[in-house]
Structure 1
């Protein structure tokens, strides 16, 4: 689920949404994986370091994940 959300965030919005002012700051090809050894079991890790994302891109990811089943650890 988390990768599907990330893929959707990285897609260019359709023309109608762009005209309404919507855009994305999430880079295409960004991936998400589960926890590494020692991480809490519901950890999600990005293939791109959060510090290398724009503030808007990071906000899009955090807001989307925090309001989804991805944040519940029910499905990755």
Structure 2
């Protein structure tokens, strides 16, 4: 059985890729306004944000939803 998910816009993307694309698109300041979590608003970095998002399912879900809404190809 093939390992494809044609209807999943996040298939094949790592959390790091998603976060990098969001930061590129919004910048840290705007990303912190879109998703008000401390790792985006106080001394943000990719590595600290990844640590938090990997441990916090609700925050990761918000990041993934924002990515799908703004950055995923149609």
User: One fold, TM greater than 0.5?
Assistant: no
Considering fraction of residues, name the structure with more strand. Answer: 1
Q: Which has the higher helix share?
A: 2
TM-score, scaled relative to structure 1: 0.38
